[in-house]
């Protein structure tokens, strides 16, 4: 009998020890595909290996855009979903308004070593609600940049001794540069004809004029309409002058640049790996990338951030202990975001962004200055990735750029369309 009791006691103790050392699982959702997906998977594998026997991230990748955000909203409302997820900062207003996101308390952030001072002010604020609460932690800043062919710019007298473009600041100077670079065989600039790209360029040019797309519940109110018209007129000029081929699909616009048929190219930082890979294979010319030139009053560039958020699972909230594990993991990913920067992104975490290792990473560090003048999407449930604002860009910005609509008419129609949806 004593022996049975002893065995039972030992067995119970073994179970208790085993339970104490059981691996905790973090359920993770993301929308990262392509090169971003490959890099994030490598980081996830690294995290799981480093935390083997303690914490394991069980990651699932869902479809980018509207499907992802709809899935998050419906799952959170029914008390289901992950413990943590990637989230575009531009979609925070919608996520907060639908109650899909759980606020993160200052003491929770502090316990994980996450400090506002380790992030750019605009980047950190974009992860907050109008109530001042923090709803996410940024991972990166991604934006549009200007890719350029060094050989072509050098021949046109537009390349400095530092290997970077010169003489592109100011709308008139940029237009003059396009004229120098454009020939019968080569376009001065290639630009994708999708609404997302159109929005990013337009919003950049609008903000460089101190324009406000949305303020006090109104779209393009007052003289902001004139500034929008100015931005659209500049974009239209690129096509009308013959410097930019019209109606170029996304892949074709990249191909124009990589094949040497366009001297410059505007696209997101996410295409940097495309250029790097081609260059490694010896299939690309000497190239570089910088932040978008300053056309008007001051530098400004559209930007967004991949961030981490905790869903507000109704009736089944992520418990405090799991939230601590999640935020510790989020901090780990920021501390290791140099690897993520390989996808063209600028690390949001300043200790990495300002590190010698990142400064040595080219061309990222050549355009990282945009982080200080980045302008994030308007705080509106209608704005952000795969939103009505992006749809409006496809309906009005792109037609104006291609010359199918006057800049003034396009600006007014975009304003009226979005204002009608806001009611």
CATH code for the domain of 249: 3.40.190.10
d(CA 157, CA 232): 28
Is 197:269 a contact under the CB 8 Å cutoff?
no
pLDDT at position 71: 97
Q: Are 29 and 86 in contact (CB under 8 A)?
A: yes
Q: 319, 336, 359: which is the final residue of a domain? A: 359
What does the pLDDT look like over 88-128, one tens digit per residue? 999 999 999 999 999 999 999 999 999 999 999 999 999 99
Q: Are residues 169 and 70 in the same domain?
A: no
366 found inside a domain = no
CA distance 143 to 268: 6
Same domain, residue pair 212 and 93: no
Instruction: Clarify whether residues 179 and 122 are in a common domain.
Output: no
C-alpha separations of 404 from 232, 240, 395, 398 in Å: 12, 11, 11, 9
Q: Which residue has the tokens 């997302």?
A: 196
In the block, tokens 């380790």 appear at 118
- Indicate if 26 and 67 belong to the same structural domain: yes
Residue with tokens 């795969």: 386
pLDDT for 65 equals: 92
Is residue 364 in a domain?
no
pTM: 0.93
In a domain, 312, yes or no: yes
Residue 414 lies inside a defined structural domain of this protein:
yes
- On whether both 27 and 103 belong to a single domain, the answer is yes
Is residue 409 located within the same domain as residue 352? no
In sequence order, the 6+-apart residues with CB closer than 8 A to the CB of 234 are: 171, 205, 295
Q: Do 255 and 283 belong to one domain?
A: yes
Question: Which pLDDT value is given to residue 32?
Answer: 96
406 contacts 400 by C-beta, under 8 angstroms = yes
Identify which of 39, 27, 123 has the alpha carbon closest to the alpha carbon of residue 337. Answer: 39
Is the same domain home to 216 and 89? no
Report the DSSP beta bridge partners of residue 84.
28
Structure tokens at 387: 């939103």
Residue 258 lies in a domain: yes
Same domain, yes or no, for 111 and 149? Answer: no
C-alpha to C-alpha distance for 152 and 149, rounded to whole angstroms = 6
Of 398, 400, 402, 380, the C-alpha closest to 389 is: 380
Tell me, yes or no, whether 246 and 381 share the same domain. Answer: yes
How far apart CA 310 and CA 376 sit, in angstroms, is 21
155 in the same domain as 135 = no
Does residue 177 belong to any structural domain of this protein?
yes
Report if residue 7 sits inside a domain.
yes
Low-confidence ranges of the chain (pLDDT < 70): 1-21
Last residue of a domain, one of 318, 338, 359: 359
φ, ψ for residue 309, nearest 5 deg:
-135, 160
Paired tokens of 391: 């749809």
> How many domains, in total, are found in the chain?
2
Bridge partner residues of 55 (DSSP) = 24
Of 359, 380, 404, the residue that ends a domain is 359
Domain with 131, as residue range(s), is 2-141+304-359
Q: Which of 237, 233, 232, 231 is nearest to 208 (CA)?
A: 231
Residue 159 DSSP class: B
């Amino acid at each position: 009998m004593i022996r049975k009791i002893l065995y039972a006691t030992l067995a119970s103790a073994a179970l208790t020890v085993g339970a104490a050392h059981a691996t905790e699982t973090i359920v993770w959702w993301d929308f990262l595909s392509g090169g971003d997906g490959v890099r994030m998977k490598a980081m996830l594998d690294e995290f799981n290996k480093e935390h083997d026997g303690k914490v394991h991230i069980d990651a699932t990748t869902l479809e980018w855009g509207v499907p992802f955000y709809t899935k998050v909203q419906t799952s959170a409302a029914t008390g289901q979903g992950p413990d943590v997820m990637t989230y575009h900062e531009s979609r925070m207003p919608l996520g907060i308004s639908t109650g899909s996101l759980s606020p993160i308390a200052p003491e929770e952030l502090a316990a994980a070593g996450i400090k506002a001072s380790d992030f750019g002010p605009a980047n950190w604020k974009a992860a907050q609600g109008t109530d001042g609460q923090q709803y996410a932690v940024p991972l990166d800043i991604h934006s549009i940049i200007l890719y350029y062919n060094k050989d072509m710019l050098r021949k046109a007298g537009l390349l400095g001794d530092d290997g970077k473009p010169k003489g592109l600041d100011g709308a008139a100077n940029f237009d003059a540069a396009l004229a120098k670079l454009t020939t019968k065989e080569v376009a001065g600039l290639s630009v994708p004809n999708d609404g997302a790209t159109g929005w990013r360029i337009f919003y950049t040019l609008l903000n460089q004029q101190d324009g406000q797309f949305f303020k006090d519940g109104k779209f393009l109110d007052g003289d902001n309409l004139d500034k929008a018209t100015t931005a659209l007129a500049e974009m239209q000029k690129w096509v009308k002058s013959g410097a930019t081929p019209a109606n170029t699909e996304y892949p074709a616009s990249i191909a124009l640049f990589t094949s040497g048929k366009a001297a410059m190219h505007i696209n997101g930082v996410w295409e940097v790996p495309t250029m790097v890979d081609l260059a490694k294979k010896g299939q690309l010319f000497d190239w570089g990338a910088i932040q978008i030139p300053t056309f008007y009053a001051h530098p400004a560039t559209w930007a967004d951030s991949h961030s981490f958020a905790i869903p507000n699972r109704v009736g089944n909230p992520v418990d405090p202990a799991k939230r601590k594990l999640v935020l510790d993991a989020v901090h780990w990913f920021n501390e290791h975001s140099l690897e993520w920067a390989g996808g063209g992104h600028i690390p949001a975490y300043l200790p990495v962004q300002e590190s010698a290792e990142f400064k040595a990473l080219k061309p990222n560090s050549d355009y990282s200055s945009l982080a200080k003048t980045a302008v994030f999407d308007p705080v509106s449930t209608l704005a952000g990735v795969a939103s009505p604002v992006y749809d409006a860009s496809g309906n009005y910005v792109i037609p104006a750029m291609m010359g199918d609509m006057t800049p003034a008419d396009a600006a007014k129609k975009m304003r009226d369309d979005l204002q009608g949806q806001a009611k």
